[in-house]
Amino acid sequence: QVQLQQWGAGLLKPSETLSLTCAVSGGSFSGHYWSWIRQAPGKGLEWIGEINQSGSTNYNPSLKSRVTISLDTSKNQFSLRLNSVTAADTAIYYCARGYTYYYDSETYRCNFDYWGQGTLVTVSS
């Protein structure tokens, strides 16, 4: 059973950098994409970005200038950094597996089938 365990600082001041890490256990790190998704208080879900085992990344254009997602394959971990945070970045941040499969030289992107427990990050002066 795949499990995602995430951690990171929960209280930041404006202009600081958000940093979260997600550890993957119980399954293969390779072959899938690994995403960060956030949810502002009382709001819906917003996809932030993703990375695969090769280090290939995709980011939401709305956050791209401030986001970096990286990975440590030796530890089966991937991380999120979000620069210059403001109160608008206050949210629960989730890591999740984006199930991916390959067929006939094509890559098929699917759903988010495993999620971390979520980390509340509050930005306040």
Contact with other proteins (CB under 8 A): which of 30, 72, 107, 109?
109
**Is the Cβ of residue 5 or residue 84 nearer to other proteins in the bound state?**
5
Q: Which residues contact 15 (CB under 8 A, 6 or more apart)?
A: 84, 85, 86
* Residue 6 neighbours by CB distance under 10 Å: 22
Interacting span for other proteins (CB under 8 A) from 10-18, 21-29, 45-53, 73-81: 45-53
State the residue for tokens 């009382």. 42
At its nearest, how many Å lie between other proteins and the CB of residue 14? 25
Count of residues in contact with other proteins, rule CB under 8 A:
21
Determine, following the binding rule CB under 8 A, whether residue 94 of this chain makes contact with other proteins: yes
Q: CB under 8 Å to 10, separation ≥6 — which residues?
A: 119, 120, 121, 122
